[in-house]
Homo-oligomer: A and B are copies of this chain.
Amino acid sequence: MPRPRAAEAAETPRRIRSAAISLFAERGFHGTGIRDIATQAGVTLSSLYHHFGSKDDLLVDIMFTSTAPLKRAADAAYQALDTPCRRLAMLIEQHVWEHVTDRLAKIVSDTEVRALSGERRDRVVSLRDSYENVWRTTVEEGVATGVFTVSHPKALTIGLLEMCTAVSHWFQPSGDLTLLELCHTYADGGLALVRAAQEDRPVRRADLEIGEPTRFLLG
């Protein structure tokens, strides 16, 4: 018994998208030819253009397909959990989890925004901003209630986000460190980070008397 035609038809764009993701992640958007994608997907050039209007459209499609689930999960977690600590921990763990399980698409989403321009770029940036706003809101509410103590919340929040994003570039699960352990470790790290200005913290920069950062840089 043959598969339904609709399922067969939907298979081709999926293969094209998958081929584009791995090539864009490895060589970059401008480093990848439209022919390379077609070849790796096992279709001809014209077939590719039948499913995607342009190379730019293909990139936008990849970015939305990659970012939208993360935004949905962030909204769901924010709604379901009830304290800044719980929300931030879950945001961190979801972000890390997705950036490992869907790592190639995440690399493309996080490095190739600059390849877009105009309205296409605006839509992608807008979705990413709405996702990051969940993080920012969570941190701000933690600072407002006093459970987070950090001297410059915005700076550390974006730093924390980038730290979690970067797992796409280096992490490989092993016996030493599974993906789940990585998520837990980064959640604890993030919670420590947003309390970095706690008064009674034992090790603080100001007590070290190390001078300023330019001390070994100039000359």
Interface stretch of the complex, out of A39-47, A73-81, A119-127? A73-81
Do A90 and B216 touch across chains, with their CB atoms under 8 A apart? yes
Do B205 and A191 touch across chains, with their CB atoms under 8 A apart? yes
Say yes or no: A189-B31 contact (C-beta < 8 A), given A76-B216, A86-B208, A217-B97: no
Say yes or no: A204-B216 contact (C-beta < 8 A), given A28-B30, A186-B159: no
Do B197 and A177 touch across chains, with their CB atoms under 8 A apart? no
The 8 A CB mask of A9-34 against B (1 = contact, 0 = none) is: 00000000000000000111111000
Do B191 and A195 touch across chains, with their CB atoms under 8 A apart? no
Q: Max chain B CB contacts within 10 Å: which of A76, A213, A215?
A: A213
How many copies make up the complex?
A: 2
A31 — which chain B residues lie within 8 A by C-beta? 29-30, 114-115
A89, CB-defined interface residue at 8 Å: yes
A129: shortest Cβ distance to chain B, in Å? 12
In the assembled complex, the Cα of A217 lies from the Cα of B215 at a distance in Å of: 47
A1, CB-defined interface residue at 8 Å: no
A176 — which chain B residues lie within 8 A by C-beta? 152
A187 — which chain B residues lie within 8 A by C-beta? 205
Q: Max chain B CB contacts within 10 Å: which of A90, A176, A203, A208?
A: A203
A93 — which chain B residues lie within 8 A by C-beta? 210, 212-213
Do B213 and A94 touch across chains, with their CB atoms under 8 A apart? yes
The 8 A CB mask of A152-196 against B (1 = contact, 0 = none) is: 100110111011111101110000110011111111110111011
